[in-house]
Structure 1
Amino acid sequence: MKYAAITERLADTGGAKWAIHQRCREMKAQGADIIELTIGEPDQPPDPQLFEVCHQSMLAGRTGYSSGRGEPELLEAIAARYMRRRPDVDADNVMCFPGTQTALFATMMGLTGPGDGVLVGDPFYATYEGVIRASGAHRESVPLRPENGFRLTAGDLEAAITPQSRVLLLNSPHNPTGAVLTAEEIASIGAVCQKHDLWIVADEVYEELVFDGDFASPFDSPDLADRVIAVSSISKSHAAPGFRSGWAVGPHEFCERLLPLSETMLFGNQPFIADMTAFALNSDLPTSARMRQSYKHRASLFADRLEKLEGMTAYRPQAGMFIILDVSGTGLGGEDFAWRLLQAGVAVMPGSSFGDNAGKLVRLSLTVPDESVVEACDRIARFVEGL
């Protein structure tokens, strides 16, 4: 039987990247004692008020079909959030989606097609390859260098641009490295994108998890308003990944053109989840602040201990829920290191899941209790010392 070309384009972008995580879950189900540091799933629950709002909304009958663009109250709540950053924003700049992943997929399908190039910093989040390839576009890697703190530079971006380049997929705060771009760096990157007439798709899902200093975004610049689409969700900011509630915010014309695609895929998110999301965005909840404090502390616990091990380099994150290690000094690449460490009772993600430029890295999640971080460090130390 014949299948569509998209199935071939995405054939090697799925579960293989998460093989260690899947194997970890299988081993744990069989009784193995493994500390799981693979995925970025917040270890604290959403604020109880979100459950109550969701529950009351369902009881009130908010279980029918949604608007294709998004529920009006949620559109207004998202618009108000971004209006504080750029006063020209209104609800017509907003599209609602089930999570950031769906927003990225729809956005890339709306901006790119076969033969187009999408520039992305390498290392990059594991699912970016799929959302780029889905439309027939291809990835154009821009190196994120350790000596630059893994922050994208305007010079490296310009050097990577080709005649096929159409979009810059920008992630700050960055997964997997935790790097955060400054306003000055973003201004320089924006100037390059203006010069070469590139769209900027800004994945800002970790916006609320910057440990110190300010968050900066190309969305905030009026000069870039016609070319920037910001995507985000409540998955990380409100510790609610399973609710699948996200959005894209961009120019009016972008939203109008994307609406038929969105309506073909889905009709917004569920009304009761939309009500909960609007409440979350309109409320001053302590969830993000608690996570910021916890993740910054755990990153220091990991770095303080592991950077003392021979052959290991720890890169302290500026934001997010991960820390990365360069393990090449141990004589192993990231893939071998991660698989062998799994047998020692710690599951981490190999850098090879995050691009061509990350083969000597591993990524550790900060979403386990402090005592598990300490025990993981003990197990990693024993493993490294035994190599």
Structure 2
Amino acid sequence: MRYASVTTRLADLGGAKWEIHAKARAMKAAGLPVLEFTIGEPDVPCPDNLIETAATAMRAGRTGYSNGRGEPALTRALADRYSARRGRTISPDQVMCFPGTQTTLYAILMALVEAGDEVLVGDPMYATYEGLIRATGAAPVGVTLRPERGFRLDPADLARAVTPRSRVIFLNTPHNPTGAVLTRADLAAISEIARAHDLWVLSDEVYEDLVFDGVDFVSPLDLPELADRAIACASISKSHAAPGFRSGWCVGPAEFCARLLPLSETMLFGNQPFIADMTAAAISAPSEVAAGMVARFSARAALIHDRLHGVAGLRVHCPDAGMFALVDVRATGLSGQDFAAGLLEAEQVAVMPGESFGAALSGWLRLALSQPDAVTEEGCSRIARHAARLLDRAA
């Protein structure tokens, strides 16, 4: 039988990246005591008041069709939120709502690029980004994010990667998997490149509310010179511990949103009104859970650094935001994939291999910071033991 070419482009870009996670879940289902550090889910439940808001809306009949842009109360609430945070007026016609950040990014990229185009994106990158880009027919052009620069995108490296086929600079700040946060100076230099080459700037900012103490978050939307070409997206998945509700959005120029609207209407013709009501309530006040996650995640990153950095050749990169820490295992002589596979078999600890996030993270691991402190301590002990065993064998 014949299939569309998109199925070939995405053939190895889906579940294959999550092989270790899937195997760990199967082992847990079989009764094995696996310690799971693979998925970045909040470590607290969604607040009761938000669940009650959604339930009340459902009981009130808010279960009908919506529209392709988003419920008016939600687009207004988002416009108000972004106007306050970005220091300039954002109107509701600059907002589009979708079921989660993933869907938002898919729609945005479908509207901006096509076959023959290139999207400039940091390497490493979140595991779905390559698939999002290739689904459009465009090609991702990885710009290496170097640990000596804290994994922040270097504008000079970005400028060297631009070609006549470049159309979009795809940013993720705060960054997954590295936890890096772009500075205002970084963004100012990126802005010059975008304007010089007439490029869009797309910024995934889903971790904005999980920035650690002493770190300043800056969005491309903060820079007036990017007003006509910057698009930011986020959701309540991380900030409000509500990943299962699938409620996200994007903010950009009004003309862009008008162009995106027919695509949104074709894709899904609106998300659920009762979830929109819940989201409007969530983003209209400070998150009840974000500050606690920031405190716990930053402390666990420090704990992982204390337990593993310098042990058996391991090196730990601590994040500035988000819910992951990175561990460099290259001293063991193994790839991140092989180390993670061996760790799961020998110690029943599941971590994400760096290769799932791009070639630049080959020989690294990503550890979620969402497990309780005692579980994180035990996981570190098992990782250190496995690394020491590998070094002894190599000696």
TM-score, normalization: structure 2? 0.97
Structure 1 stretch displaced more, 340-349 or 2-11: 2-11
How many positions carry a matched residue from both structures?
387
Structure 1 stretch displaced more, 22-31 or 352-361: 352-361
Cα displacement (A) at 1:137: 0.2
1:274 has 2:276 as partner = yes
Aligned match of 2:191: 190
Alpha-carbon contact 1:86-1:222 (below 8 Å) kept: no
Cα displacement (A) at 1:310: 2.0
**Residues 280-327 of structure 1: per-residue CA shift (max 9 Å, x gap):** 011233211011001001101111110031211100100000001110
Matches within 5 A, 1:160-175: 160-175=161-176
Moved over 3 A (4+): none
Cα displacement (A) at 1:153: 1.1
CA–CA distance in structure 2, aligned partners of residues 346 and 158 of structure 1: 40
1:336 has 2:349 as partner = no
**Residues 247-305 of structure 1: per-residue CA shift (max 9 Å, x gap):** 01110110011101000000222000000000001123321101100100110111111
CA–CA distance in structure 2, aligned partners of residues 191 and 383 of structure 1: 47
CA–CA distance in structure 2, aligned partners of residues 99 and 285 of structure 1: 17
Aligned match of 2:237: 235
Aligned match of 1:66: 66
Matches within 5 A, 1:42-81: 42-81=42-81
**Residues 38-59 of structure 1: per-residue CA shift (max 9 Å, x gap):** 0111111111110110110000
Matches within 5 A, 1:303-342: 303-342=305-344
CA–CA distance in structure 2, aligned partners of residues 182 and 348 of structure 1: 29
**SS where residue 235 of structure 1 aligns?**
coil
CA–CA distance in structure 2, aligned partners of residues 179 and 268 of structure 1: 33
1:374 has 2:377 as partner = yes
Aligned match of 2:247: 245
**Residues 318-369 of structure 1: per-residue CA shift (max 9 Å, x gap):** 0000001110011211110000011111100001100111111110000110
Aligned match of 2:40: 40
1:90 has 2:91 as partner = yes
CA–CA distance in structure 2, aligned partners of residues 163 and 336 of structure 1: 38
Aligned match of 2:393: none
CA–CA distance in structure 1, aligned partners of residues 358 and 119 of structure 2: 14
**SS where residue 351 of structure 2 aligns?**
strand
**Residues 87-124 of structure 1: per-residue CA shift (max 9 Å, x gap):** 23100000000000000000000000001000000000
Cα displacement (A) at 1:86: 3.8
CA–CA distance in structure 2, aligned partners of residues 129 and 351 of structure 1: 15
Gaps of 5+ in 2: 391-395
Letter in 1 for 2:117: D
Cα displacement (A) at 1:386: 1.3
Cα displacement (A) at 1:3: 1.1
Gaps of 5+ in 1: none
**SS where residue 201 of structure 1 aligns?**
strand
Matches within 5 A, 1:293-308: 293-308=295-310
Alpha-carbon contact 1:70-1:267 (below 8 Å) kept: no
**SS where residue 266 of structure 2 aligns?**
helix
**Residues 127-183 of structure 1: per-residue CA shift (max 9 Å, x gap):** 001110011000001010011110001101001111111001001100000011111
CA–CA distance in structure 2, aligned partners of residues 375 and 272 of structure 1: 41
Alpha-carbon contact 2:239-2:287 (below 8 Å) kept: no
Alpha-carbon contact 1:86-1:221 (below 8 Å) kept: no
TM-score, normalization: structure 1? 0.99
Aligned match of 1:11: 11
CA–CA distance in structure 2, aligned partners of residues 48 and 292 of structure 1: 20
Alpha-carbon contact 1:117-1:140 (below 8 Å) kept: yes
**SS where residue 74 of structure 2 aligns?**
helix
CA–CA distance in structure 1, aligned partners of residues 358 and 387 of structure 2: 24
Letter in 1 for 2:16: A
Letter in 1 for 2:178: T
**SS where residue 96 of structure 1 aligns?**
strand
